[in-house]
Structure 1
């Protein structure tokens, strides 16, 4: 199998979600660091416009969004499982809550804390993705967001009092999704004191942090693009079109996140299911790419 390549940057919350899964599963991976801000000239040839981090690359197959990435890793290495078969629905519900609501509670107060050390222009870059990510909006939202984050930390503390992980004895995608906002708080001693004040939550955090960095080696962006250029999409077979689905394989479509970020990716559908869409696209610098997205959280329209 081709190498597993993660395009990310160190401070990315969502990349930490995937880094924890890779470490837990003991999957060897290659690290390609991408810029925190646009432009991202070594990423867009792979994604066709999608700029969020992380992105997973396996040869000429490119996976966008952590929900899609996590499920591909589960397919590649089912054990140890991150999607418990009897609690898959519950794990996905917690994942969605953490990736959206909990994350939005943590980010504003953390950005305020980190603001003096952030790269110049970062919030201007983010405000182009959504007005809610402007400096004014984030600073205005921070006090209320922190009050809500405290309530979420209390709920996690209560859930963890009698178990090592959120769903029981084993780490799952629910833990990975809840970990990354708490991990982001780790970058402020003042705010991380909120975690330390909750002993079950602090022990859970240390348990997951104890997985370590995993089996990771660095790779340059140029090397990753060369790998894509030399490969052909491989993960394009199978899948069933959901009943009532208006889209069909072969349709030329535009894919865009439904929450923030105006960037679009375009391609022709090669696989379609209730949970995932795969499109094939051509880029002059890397050739044929299969681009994979989850259906949840993305608008798909015909070109």
Structure 2
């Protein structure tokens, strides 16, 4: 039987976005290894692969590297590496459960919820005084000269953020969880719907002193707190008996991926009728730049275009010691051709 491709998660401890993927891997029992990254730039392990994208996490399955947690989870839903792995969540989800999962993912990712949680919890952590961290996050947001992440972004918004987070908890307590359900999609065990909703709240509740007790307590929101605790316990139970991930150096990961093959060819085409393809004249094999449209837009990954569809943008990196195939979601990412340098005769 052919050996399984290496599965490596690039992340740093405490990343709430990485936690989404870690929950998923645990609940499905998918074995993986990890390449721990600093929580600020630079990240030479990724530069070695020709990746300038600055957000965490990234997931490598063989030579395919996936950016952005929605795409990572989507790929894992198509991934069944061994007979010991639990089946993808979608295989047992009803249409209504799938719809709820999609809506909850949008609720946590496409609304100000995450920003509000950041503004509530960050002042209670040492990071609020960490100049290197504050400078890094200011650069990620693309702030003007003199922009201070704490003074100009977090602290002025904290009181309003508390109100907005409290509204989210009220919605969950008195609407979604009001009927006493154990899991948000009324499943027997935690599902992808729980993963999509729980991560910012688990992050908030797990940091000592982060929750403003005069506004948010387990007594005021017992169903929400019980659900988060239940989820944490379920993930802990799922991890028992699983192989502990090996912590791997960036050099070793690069060596692994350099020998690995491309596993995912599903989106390896350029859709010629796409309006962006038509407007920019994009074609397969063209040298392009790829970047996220919101935060971290200054960090563009260069490569040869492999695929451009309604779901994914795919390219082979060209600036690292090892070339990998990068997959980014179409939603929230941009591509532009690398300008061709004029040759003077």
Same-fold call, TM cutoff 0.5: yes
Q: Please state how far the C-alpha of 1:71 moved relative to its aligned partner.
A: 0.7
Measure, in 1, the Cα distance between the counterparts of 2:57 and 2:72: 9
Match of 1:19 in 2: 22
Q: Go from structure 1 to structure 2 and tell me whether the alpha carbon gap of 1:47 and 1:179 turns closer, same or farther (over 3 Å shift).
A: farther
Measure, in 2, the Cα distance between the counterparts of 1:70 and 1:113: 30
Q: 266, 273, 284: which is aligned to 2:309?
A: 273
Q: CA RMSD in A?
A: 2.4
SS at 1:196 equivalent: coil
Q: Please state how far the C-alpha of 1:95 moved relative to its aligned partner.
A: 0.6
SS at 1:168 equivalent: coil
Match of 1:301 in 2: 336
Q: Does 1:104 align with 2:115?
A: yes
Residues 48-98 of structure 1: CA deviation (Å, up to 9, x unaligned): 200111010122111110011101111003814158461434422321220
Q: Please state how far the C-alpha of 1:250 moved relative to its aligned partner.
A: 2.8
- 1:200-219 correspondence runs (5 A): 200-210=223-233, 211-212=235-236, 214=239, 215=242, 216-219=244-247
Q: Go from structure 1 to structure 2 and tell me whether the alpha carbon gap of 1:183 and 1:114 turns closer, same or farther (over 3 Å shift).
A: same
Q: Go from structure 1 to structure 2 and tell me whether the alpha carbon gap of 1:265 and 1:238 turns closer, same or farther (over 3 Å shift).
A: closer
SS at 2:89 equivalent: coil
Q: Does 1:234 align with 2:263?
A: yes
SS at 2:45 equivalent: coil
Quick check: which one's strand share is greater? 1
The count of residues paired between Structure 1 and Structure 2 equals: 302
User: Does structure 2 conserve the Cα–Cα contact (< 8 Å) formed by 1:110 and 1:188?
Assistant: no
User: Does structure 2 conserve the Cα–Cα contact (< 8 Å) formed by 1:236 and 1:278?
Assistant: no
Q: Does 1:175 align with 2:186?
A: no
Q: Please state how far the C-alpha of 1:28 moved relative to its aligned partner.
A: 1.1
SS at 2:25 equivalent: helix
Q: Please state how far the C-alpha of 1:32 moved relative to its aligned partner.
A: 1.6
Residues 147-200 of structure 1: CA deviation (Å, up to 9, x unaligned): 101101111223123322222215333321322111211103450853623121
Q: Please state how far the C-alpha of 1:24 moved relative to its aligned partner.
A: 1.0
Q: Please state how far the C-alpha of 1:283 moved relative to its aligned partner.
A: 4.0
Gaps of 5+ in 1: none
User: Does structure 1 conserve the Cα–Cα contact (< 8 Å) formed by 2:306 and 2:315?
Assistant: yes
What TM-score results when the alignment is normalised by the length of structure 2?
0.80
Measure, in 2, the Cα distance between the counterparts of 1:297 and 1:249: 21
Measure, in 1, the Cα distance between the counterparts of 2:50 and 2:148: 23
Q: Go from structure 1 to structure 2 and tell me whether the alpha carbon gap of 1:2 and 1:91 turns closer, same or farther (over 3 Å shift).
A: same
User: Does structure 1 conserve the Cα–Cα contact (< 8 Å) formed by 2:182 and 2:227?
Assistant: yes
Question: Bigger radius of gyration, 1 or 2?
Answer: 2
Measure, in 1, the Cα distance between the counterparts of 2:127 and 2:267: 49
Measure, in 1, the Cα distance between the counterparts of 2:45 and 2:90: 30
Gaps of 5+ in 2: 81-85, 339-345
What TM-score results when the alignment is normalised by the length of structure 1?
0.90
